[in-house]
A and B are shown apart, each in its own frame.
Chain A
Amino acid sequence: MPFAEAIRIAVASLRSNKLRSVLTVLGILIGVSSVIAVVAITEGLDAYIAERVLELGSQSFTVQKFPDVITSREQWLEMQKRKDLNLRDLQAVRDACDACAEVGGMLTTRRDAKYGRITQENVVVMGVTENATRIGTMREITTGRSLIDDDVDRGSAVAVIGSDVADAFFPNMEPLGKEFQIDGHPVRVIGVVEKKGTVFGNSQDNFMWVPISYFQKMYGNRRSVDIMIQARSMDTFEKAQDQARVVMRNRRHLGFNKPDDFSVETGESVLELWQNATRGIYVVTVVVTGISLIVGGVVVMNIMLVSVTERIREIGVRKALGARRRDILRQFLVESVILSLFGGLLGLAGAAVFSWGLATVLGNIMSTTFTAPVRLWAVLLAMFVSTLVGLVAGIYPAGRAAALDPVVALRNE
């Protein structure tokens, strides 16, 4: 029997049992759509994260007391023993590193800011050197001016504020020249920074820059300074890191066999962390998908057994008319494969809708455009896997149908 005929019979049989066919392939539908959707979404997130991390500055890095990622309590306790970094370290790096374009310092804390009776909570207060605002991502000043060397030298009580702070305090006023308070210390607004929106639901605009010297006046100089460095170019990025590391090791008198007692962090370490996390997501997805495909396959097999039982007489008639074992076998295998392929196709449609929906939701949360592309290889894989499931699930029922004795089959009521 030619394949075309087997396919025709299979499609007719599935069409005559529409509801049953749809219910049968639910497992495969869920399996296929979950794997495609998860792949699409993690890929979308990957692209998003990579873009964001790169935006942090592909040529910038920081030298800091603590690493960005601490994975255990033991490590955390160990890190506590590290020495603080201070402005003299900063100066030493600045003097010795010729691969560095800019070396700046930053101190950070979160405080509530007050203007009259208005309180803006959890403002990220960054005490920075004048050049720190030019390291990594550039942010445009929309009104007023940026910090200058003079502000830092004098420790002036001035601030460049993010748009959240400006909107909260001065919704209908000119913010420049206005004075507000952090922890009882007065600061005067000299500039407002362009709005950036949110990343993972966190506003990027609830912050202020003050001169690092004023920060130390307010909170003391016993905090460890993060040294922020911009390399001259992509090519000197590694070299700049090495030079900064050497300076710090010399200042700490570390022997060649001692590990660094400070951390050098680039955007890449965050990216790495993310990629490790998504690898975990992939593994879980594969397991979940595997289970749902096995369940889906069992359901398909079950329904194929029902289909064979229902059509014993038809099989008898076909055999009486000259169908050989392999004709019957092929007929039911094709039916089983088409059934699961149908599930796979529904799954694809489901995945497309699901990842489009999730991308829209995520895009809204992050207020950026976010794409979750359904890849061709995912589509092909889904088709291949559902064909395979159909074949495996169909072998036993089809084999039973093919082995039926025509006399017995024809007698079946």
Chain B
Amino acid sequence: MAAASGPLIRAEDLWRTYTMGAEEIHALRGVSFTIDPGEYVAIMGPSGSGKSTLMNLIGCLDSPSKGNYVLRGKMVSQMGDDELAEIRNREIGFVFQTFNLLPRASALHNVELPMVYAGIPKEERLARARRSLEMVDLGDRVTHKPNELSGGQRQRVAVARALVMGPSILLADEPTGNLDTATGEEIMRLFEKLNADGHTIILVTHEKDIADHAHRTIHIRDGKIESDEPRVR
């Protein structure tokens, strides 16, 4: 879990610029915010607003062109490829719209995968993967392959995989986008439970219904923060 003192994430004037031939495209134009441990934040915005770019930066998949990104006191914005890989491994748990499970691997092995890259020994990996799957109520499905599971079950496997390393942030990108409404609600209830247990969750979505589950919503438009406000109950 996150360190006790100070914010979990501090983003200061983040810019992300892509060069397309001679043209420069600014996907982010100076974004600043902080997120404290235990928060449940939704990042919203229409397509092309820069929310995906911001998500990539928060998830340490990409580095800003300008500005600082501090995660748990570490200056991530100046790290190299391999350091970023380690940060992703230990600090970030990804949940994707399309689940992104390895199709030929069992649920158990999918959940094991982050621990493989962390160099955790086999027995411990298996025990922890099992525990993680039990936490999302899939203890009886460990040997099933993704194509033997329903969409909701697959996304729960993905959540189990995201949580198994005990990350600082659970970063979910349209986690209900490929699920029907009922199953989507089921996943959102799981997120709420996880947040109640103390997990920091960042939810990237363009659906207001989904964003309303979060306790704080950051709206992005044209690469800038349009609004940043707590949920009105």
- Collect the chain B residues with CB atoms within 8 Å of residue A287's CB: none
- Residue pair A410, B117 in contact (C-beta under 8 Å): no
- Residue pair B61, A407 in contact (C-beta under 8 Å): yes
Interface of B (DSSP majority class): helix
- Binary A-proximity of B98-135 (CB < 8 A = 1, otherwise 0): 00101010000000011011110000000000000000
B173 to chain A, nearest CB (A): 9
Within 8 A of A (CB), among B64-113: 81-82, 85-86, 88-90, 94, 96, 100, 102, 104, 113
Within 8 A of B (CB), among A296-326: 313-314, 316-326
How distant is the Cα of A337 from the Cα of B117 in the complex, in angstroms? 21
Closest to A323 in B: B117
How distant is the Cα of A5 from the Cα of B119 in the complex, in angstroms? 11
How distant is the Cα of A407 from the Cα of B114 in the complex, in angstroms? 18
Task: Give the total of B residues in contact with A, Cβ under 8 Å.
Answer: 24
CB of A16 closer than 8 Å to a CB of B: yes
- Residue pair A319, B85 in contact (C-beta under 8 Å): yes
- Collect the chain B residues with CB atoms within 8 Å of residue A184's CB: none
- Residue pair B81, A324 in contact (C-beta under 8 Å): yes
How distant is the Cα of A316 from the Cα of B89 in the complex, in angstroms? 13
Question: Which 4 pairs from chain A and chain B are nearest by CB?
Answer: A322-B89, A322-B117, A324-B85, A321-B114
A318 to chain B, nearest CB (A): 7
- Residue pair B56, A321 in contact (C-beta under 8 Å): no
- Collect the chain A residues with CB atoms within 8 Å of residue B62's CB: 405-407
CB of B59 closer than 8 Å to a CB of A: yes
How distant is the Cα of A383 from the Cα of B183 in the complex, in angstroms? 53
Closest to A403 in B: B81
- Residue pair B104, A16 in contact (C-beta under 8 Å): yes
Q: A321-B117, A407-B56 are in contact. Are A12 and B104 (CB under 8 A)?
A: yes
How distant is the Cα of A327 from the Cα of B81 in the complex, in angstroms? 12
Q: How many A residues are at the interface, by size bracket?
A: 20 to 34
CB of B161 closer than 8 Å to a CB of A: yes
Number of A-B contacts (CB under 8 A): 62
From the candidates A2, A321, A406, name the one contacting B89 in the complex (CB within 8 A): A321
Within 8 A of B (CB), among A323-348: 323-327
- Residue pair A5, B116 in contact (C-beta under 8 Å): yes
How distant is the Cα of A239 from the Cα of B112 in the complex, in angstroms? 80
- Binary B-proximity of A160-203 (CB < 8 A = 1, otherwise 0): 00000000000000000000000000000000000000000000
- Binary B-proximity of A3-27 (CB < 8 A = 1, otherwise 0): 0010000001100100000000000
User: Among A2, A316, A322, A405, which residue has the most Cβ atoms of chain B within 10 A?
Assistant: A322
Q: A320-B61, A320-B94, A327-B117 are in contact. Are A313 and B88 (CB under 8 A)?
A: no
B120 to chain A, nearest CB (A): 10
Closest to A322 in B: B89
Q: A2-B119, A406-B61, A407-B56 are in contact. Are A321 and B113 (CB under 8 A)?
A: yes
- Residue pair B119, A324 in contact (C-beta under 8 Å): no
Within 8 A of B (CB), among A240-255: none
* With A2-B119, A319-B85 already in contact, 4 other A-B pairs whose C-beta atoms are closer than 8 Å: A318-B113, A320-B61, A322-B88, A323-B117
How distant is the Cα of A313 from the Cα of B94 in the complex, in angstroms? 14
CB of A96 closer than 8 Å to a CB of B: no
- Residue pair B100, A313 in contact (C-beta under 8 Å): yes
From the candidates B61, B102, B114, B118, name the one contacting A410 in the complex (CB within 8 A): B61
- Collect the chain A residues with CB atoms within 8 Å of residue B118's CB: 322
User: Among A1, A314, A324, A327, which residue has the most Cβ atoms of chain B within 10 A?
Assistant: A324
- Residue pair A324, B104 in contact (C-beta under 8 Å): no
How distant is the Cα of A2 from the Cα of B100 in the complex, in angstroms? 23
How distant is the Cα of A12 from the Cα of B104 in the complex, in angstroms? 8
Closest to B100 in A: A317
- Collect the chain B residues with CB atoms within 8 Å of residue A317's CB: 100, 102
- Collect the chain A residues with CB atoms within 8 Å of residue B82's CB: 324-326
Within 8 A of B (CB), among A385-413: 405-407, 410
- Collect the chain B residues with CB atoms within 8 Å of residue A407's CB: 56, 61-62
B116 to chain A, nearest CB (A): 5
B166 to chain A, nearest CB (A): 13
How distant is the Cα of A314 from the Cα of B82 in the complex, in angstroms? 18
How distant is the Cα of A321 from the Cα of B100 in the complex, in angstroms? 11
- Collect the chain B residues with CB atoms within 8 Å of residue A314's CB: 102
Q: A323-B85, A325-B82 are in contact. Are A318 and B117 (CB under 8 A)?
A: yes
A57 to chain B, nearest CB (A): 68
Closest to B117 in A: A322
How distant is the Cα of A320 from the Cα of B158 in the complex, in angstroms? 12
- Residue pair B117, A320 in contact (C-beta under 8 Å): no
From the candidates B56, B85, B100, name the one contacting A322 in the complex (CB within 8 A): B85
How distant is the Cα of A405 from the Cα of B56 in the complex, in angstroms? 11
B21 to chain A, nearest CB (A): 17
From the candidates B81, B88, B119, name the one contacting A321 in the complex (CB within 8 A): B88
Q: A325-B82, A407-B61, A407-B62 are in contact. Are A1 and B117 (CB under 8 A)?
A: yes
